[in-house]
Chain A
């Protein structure tokens, strides 16, 4: 089983709202990732958590706030977003951060900011 589950699948939020995207995996993976993908562009790395600690932040604006409450869960808290933040947000996980371990992706959460 290589399943990464993301909820919600679709989210529409106003620029003053606070919302969260959730990601869950039960594969015992200790590295988890958030990516952002705009239409017709490749996914862009946002954050990496390794053993529940933030290991990489790719200079993401503070209106995106990641959280890893335990080894199976990863959240992305959203606040004061802009319409240009509308995108597909992808969560992924791997056994560990070692480059030989495969990274598995969820189906994504479609975010629309109005």
Chain B
């Protein structure tokens, strides 16, 4: 599976959009981009995933560049409850595995 690179930490003001970047320059055509988050002491929570096109759901939007080498997770109106570690993961279509990297620690402040 392709490796991902994320900033170690980010801050965001409450009510503003949080834009979390992820680089996956070695991604191949049969690999999805997944985003999970983990709030302290809880299990990882699925947020969104995509293959080529941008995706949106009730939690977030996922923007994937045309060359698929990077993506951005957007939380449109961050709240204090969005403070968590956010993991960007590249997952092969044909695999059972989901391998976590080190993630981005997002701190939302009042």
Contact = CB atoms under 8 A, between A and B. Distances in A.
A104 B46 contact: yes
Interface stretch (A14-22, A41-49, A66-74): A41-49
B65 interface: no
B68 interface: no
A2 B43 CA distance: 13
Contacts, number: 60
13 contacts: A42-B87, A43-B100, A48-B97, A55-B96, A90-B43, A97-B95, A99-B91, A99-B92, A99-B93, A102-B34, A103-B98, A106-B43, A107-B42
Interface residues of A, number: 26
B93 A98 contact: yes
B103 A99 contact: no
Interface of B: 30-32, 34, 36, 41-46, 49, 51, 87, 91-103
- Interface of chain B: mostly helix, strand, loop or mixed: loop
Nearest to A103: B98
Contact of B49 (A43, A92, A102, A104): A102
A107 B43 CA distance: 4
Nearest to A99: B93
Contacts of A86: none
A114 interface: no
A55 B97 CA distance: 10
A101 to B, nearest CB: 10
Contacts of B42: 107-108
Contact of B93 (A33, A42, A45, A100): A100
